[in-house]
Amino acid sequence: MITGTNFIGFKSVKGGGKMFTTTNPVSNTENPWKFTEVDENQVDQALGLATQAFEIYQQTTPTKRAEFLNAIADGIEALGDSLINTYCLETGLPQGRAKGERGRTVGQLRSFANLVAEGSWVKATIDTADLGREPMPKLDIRKMMVPLGPVVVFGASNFPLAYSTAGGDTASALAAGCPVVVKSHPMHAGTGELVATAIIGAAKATGMPDGVFSNLNSSGIEVGQQLVKHPQVKAVGFTGSIKGGRALLDLAAARKEPIPVFAEMGSVNPVVLLPIALGSKGDYWAKTYAGSITLGTGQFCTNPGVLLGLDSEVLDHFIQILGEEIIKIEPSCMLHPNIAKAYETNKNRITEKSGVNLVAEFPKETAQNHARQAVVKISGADFKANPEVQEEVFGPFSLVVACSNTEEMNQVIALMHGQLTGTIIAERQELDNYGSVVNTLRNKVGRLIFNGVPTGVEVCAAMQHGGPYPASTDSRFSAVGVHAIDRWVRPLSYQNWPNNLLPAELRNENPLQIVRTIDGTSTKAKI
């Protein structure tokens, strides 16, 4: 079923560049499919088609666009076991995770279909005319959100479905009315091809224009660079490392026409453990965090990589239990041999730093590419002297920072980079004494969590997934939830425009029955 093909619009083509395969990290063998990297001309072709498609696609009716998104979801479900099996062969992740992620992916597509079908997401804002106003007449002005143009989406290594080919970036960009060109992640190009087949099938079945979607294979960085520099690309979505995301951001910023890059990058998701909570429920939290740190082999962007506590007996006890619990957990396979190698290297790099002490590390030999989870400890003073110990170790690893007092805890948080999440573990009565800690943490993160774990990102409207740099490249937007659509749109105003030539969303009759703000009032009324 997997042929190693690229999709340049509707056309299935072999790439013109070098060949590559994907790896099964469990067996440590290459999967049987051969993929060929697209060449420069093929990138040009995909963008040429996307630009042509944009003219038609941006004007599709909400109903048709929702039909397309739902048809993609149907198509992904129809792939059945072949998708699940390919996913597992290319990632080493278990079937349960594959199915869960498929459900999330399909759910995201359907939720954007609902958003688009309902229609109010365009934020129609109408200020009616007052031609008798003095000294100048007030003209009729109507505004709505319109798509930016072709969007490039980079597949994520750690979410082969939910943040790759038909993941949140693609779903939100297509919902917005933007054609999408995916740079498939080379570690799961087969999974990507299957999903791309579902998207192309859905596009054809629902009458979408050729070029509304392309899927490009590449194992190196050149194709991605060409895409970000391409003048016909109007925005970029990326999920991955800080190094990778920053490189794309820099390329986009250096363009003659700079374009927005929404890169969701690294985070260590600091967790503040307050003493009364540790005293009353330290064992519970230690066990819970052992689970959160190792969940998905620690390969989540919301993995808790730094835990902060006040140096005390209750913290020592927590650390001891955390160490005991974490090595009880059976090590699991990482996504790729290179990721497993990098995990060991980065873990050792941090562990060898001055002041860092190993608390616990899975003590036995493991199967190939399986990660040996570890917890290390540092004092607040040593953290302050070497704040680079906060650098993300992608995998099941966490650094506990034992601060000598609240002030030092605050200083440590102030030295941390921007984060997706920040968590407070506390009894309610003690929280009042840590107002400044909460305030400092709030300015660093996109999501504050009380008595919970950062792993597990609910797909809902109230979710903020993104945060101050480098958690993401633009903290004003979210990669998860329906508001993710805001990344790919811009407001367009129509002044004194004839009613019958306005987009349906802005016409007097309100034919789509959407919520609009008319002269300051939110309403579904006609004008």
Q: Which of residues 81-140 bind a second copy (CB under 8 A)?
A: 125-127, 136, 138-139
Closest CA to 192 of 244, 99, 107, 200: 200
Answer yes or no: are the C-beta atoms of 169 and 237 closer than 8 Å: yes
Q: Which of 67, 90, 101, 264 is catalytic?
A: 264
Task: Choose, by CB under 8 A, the member of 74, 381, 469, 508 that binds a second copy.
Answer: 469
Task: Choose, by CB under 8 A, the member of 4, 25, 62, 149 that binds a second copy.
Answer: 149
Of 98 and 126, the one with the shorter C-beta distance to a second copy is 126
Pairing of strands 35-36, 19-20: antiparallel
Structure letter (DSSP) for residue 219: S
507 counts as binding a second copy under rule CB under 8 A = no
Closest CA to 426 of 324, 231, 277, 219: 277
Question: In sequence order, what DSSP letters do the residues of 128-181 get, joined into one string?
Answer: --BTT-SSSPBPPEEEEEEE-S-EEEEPPSS-TTTTSTTSHHHHHHHHHT--EE
391 counts as binding a second copy under rule CB under 8 A = no
Task: Choose, by CB under 8 A, the member of 187, 278, 321, 463 that binds a second copy.
Answer: 463
148 counts as binding a second copy under rule CB under 8 A = yes
Least distance to a second copy, CB of residue 335, Å: 23
Task: Choose, by CB under 8 A, the member of 98, 418, 425, 505 that binds a second copy.
Answer: 418
Least distance to a second copy, CB of residue 147, Å: 10
User: 127, exposed or middle or buried, with CB in 10 Å at 0-12, 13-18, 19+?
Assistant: middle
Residue range at the interface with a second copy (CB under 8 A); choices 190-198, 303-311, 371-379, 458-466: 458-466
Answer yes or no: are the C-beta atoms of 77 and 104 closer than 8 Å: no
489 counts as binding a second copy under rule CB under 8 A = yes
Of 143 and 185, the one with the shorter C-beta distance to a second copy is 143
Q: Which DSSP helix (H) or strand (E) runs through 74? A: helix 62-78
Structure letter (DSSP) for residue 352: T
Answer yes or no: are the C-beta atoms of 290 and 296 closer than 8 Å: no
Enumerate residues 151-210 that contact a second copy by CB under 8 A. none
302 counts as binding a second copy under rule CB under 8 A = no
473 counts as binding a second copy under rule CB under 8 A = yes
10 counts as binding a second copy under rule CB under 8 A = no
Structure letter (DSSP) for residue 370: B
Q: Which of 178, 301, 333, 403 is catalytic?
A: 301
Least distance to a second copy, CB of residue 511, Å: 19
* Residues in the chain, total: 527
476 counts as binding a second copy under rule CB under 8 A = yes
Enumerate residues 55-74 that contact a second copy by CB under 8 A. 55
Enumerate residues 36-55 that contact a second copy by CB under 8 A. 55
How far, in Å, CA of 214 to CA of 450, rounded? 42
231 counts as binding a second copy under rule CB under 8 A = no
Amino acid letter, residue 393:
V
Of 132 and 462, the one with the shorter C-beta distance to a second copy is 462
Least distance to a second copy, CB of residue 241, Å: 16
Amino acid letter, residue 59:
Q
Question: Residue-wise over 304-319: b if at least 16 C-beta within 10 A, else e?
Answer: bbbbbbbeeebbeebb
Of 353 and 447, the one with the shorter C-beta distance to a second copy is 447
Enumerate residues 508-527 that contact a second copy by CB under 8 A. 515, 517, 520, 522
Q: Would you call 88 a catalytic residue per the annotation?
A: no
276 counts as binding a second copy under rule CB under 8 A = no
What distance, in Å, lies between the first and last C-alpha atoms of the chain?
Answer: 54
Task: Choose, by CB under 8 A, the member of 146, 195, 301, 378 that binds a second copy.
Answer: 146
Residue range at the interface with a second copy (CB under 8 A); choices 40-48, 311-319, 393-401, 487-495: 487-495
Token digits for 140? Answer: 């009729």
* CB-CB neighbours of 240 under 10 Å: 20
Of 152 and 376, the one with the shorter C-beta distance to a second copy is 152
407 counts as binding a second copy under rule CB under 8 A = no
Token digits for 40? Answer: 């420069």
Of 185 and 483, the one with the shorter C-beta distance to a second copy is 483
Least distance to a second copy, CB of residue 449, Å: 4
Tell me, by CB under 8 A, how many residues bind a second copy.
71
Question: Residue-wise over 335-354: b if at least 16 C-beta within 10 A, else e?
Answer: bbbebbebbeebbeebbebe
Residue for token digits 């941006």? 58
319 counts as binding a second copy under rule CB under 8 A = no
Of 363 and 520, the one with the shorter C-beta distance to a second copy is 520
Q: Would you call 264 a catalytic residue per the annotation?
A: yes
Of 56 and 342, the one with the shorter C-beta distance to a second copy is 56
How far, in Å, CA of 191 to CA of 76, rounded? 11
How far, in Å, CA of 187 to CA of 281, rounded? 41
Enumerate residues 235-274 that contact a second copy by CB under 8 A. 249-250, 253-254, 257-260
Enumerate residues 428-457 that contact a second copy by CB under 8 A. 428, 431, 438-439, 442-443, 445-452, 456
Of 139 and 342, the one with the shorter C-beta distance to a second copy is 139
Pairing of strands 445-450, 357-361: unpaired
How far, in Å, CA of 147 to CA of 224, rounded? 22
Of 187 and 208, the one with the shorter C-beta distance to a second copy is 208
Amino acid letter, residue 261:
V
Answer yes or no: are the C-beta atoms of 377 and 284 closer than 8 Å: no
Catalytic (active-site) positions: 264, 301
